[in-house]
Structure formats: structure tokens, C-alpha cells
Amino acid sequence: MNSLPAVALALALAQAQTPPGSVVPGAAPIPADDKLYQALGGLDNIRAFTDDFYDSMLKDPRIAPFFDGINQKFLKHSLADYFCVVAGGPCVYEGVSMKDAHAHLGIAKGDFNTLVEHLQRAMDRAHVPFATQNQLLARLAFFHRDIVTR
């Protein structure tokens, strides 16, 4: 992973707070406009890089075991919906909060960073501009405290 997303992530973690605007389950802050959604290439591109991201995690022995027995099709769909909403897109996320989704998993900080690494690489392969990647990663960093439990 190159250094800028790591910096963006660290900054977002340091500053994590709920900005004004709407929330989705888990108190996800969502932007007031869909600029980030558009920059990500819209829902088709989000679904494409999410599928690729998920497949690449399954090939990584550091985190693949977390996904054993998980309904892959369902989770890919739910993840893409989530990214879409967080980016200000016109999607509906019907899943549970980040806290409830991950409470039983015992996720460590290193696992979270590994997932972020895979997401960044998948966005690279989908030709998402670097600054746009950073914006999504910074928004997702907000959930660190709900997801990392050990």
C-alpha cells in the first residue's frame, strides 16, 4: 500500500467525528452531495471493484478465514450498497450497523488495515483516481472504532 492512503486513514482516525448531515445504520456520516459517488464511477463501478476487493481478500491468508462460511453473494452486495451510501450515492443499505455486523468477529487493527489495503488495490485496478480513493478510505476510517474490537 502506498503512503498517501495510509496518511489519509491516520488523519481520519485522529479526527474521527460525525460531520453534519444524514446518518445510516451505525451512525455513518454521509456527504451532502454525490460527488464522491460520481467520482467512484457510480454503482456499476462500485459493484465491480467491491467484487474484485472481496475476491482478493479471500486469497489473502491473513484475513480470508474471517469470511469462511459467509454468503459471498450477499456480502458483496451489502458491501457495495454500503460504499455507495457512504459516498453519497442513491442506494439503500439494508444491513445492520457496523458495530453489530462485526462484534462477534474479534477484528484487530492489523486486520482492518489489511482490508483497507485490498480495497485500495481493487480501486486502483478499477482506475479510481487516487484522491477519490483517499476520500472513500477516509470516510470508512470513521468506522474503525466500531469494527476493531481487540
Q: Does 40 bind ligand HEM (CB under 6 A)?
A: no
Q: Does 32 bind ligand HEM (CB under 6 A)?
A: no
Residue 48 to residue 39: CA distance in whole angstroms: 14
Residue 24 to residue 87: CA distance in whole angstroms: 12
At a CB cut-off of 8 Å and minimum separation 6, what does 127 contact? 41
For residue 24, give the 3-state DSSP assignment: strand
Among 9, 36, 107, 128, binds ligand HEM (CB under 6 A): 107
Between 6 and 66, name the residue whose CB sits nearer to ligand HEM: 66
Q: Does 75 bind ligand HEM (CB under 6 A)?
A: yes
Q: Would you state the cell numbers that stand for residue 93, as one nine-digit string?
A: 443499505
Contact by Cβ (8 Å): 102, 149: yes
Q: Does 132 bind ligand HEM (CB under 6 A)?
A: no
Question: Residue with CB nearest ligand HEM?
Answer: 95
**By the criterion CB under 6 A, which residues form the site for ligand HEM?**
63, 66-67, 70, 75, 78-79, 82, 95-96, 101-102, 105, 107, 111-112, 115, 140, 143, 147
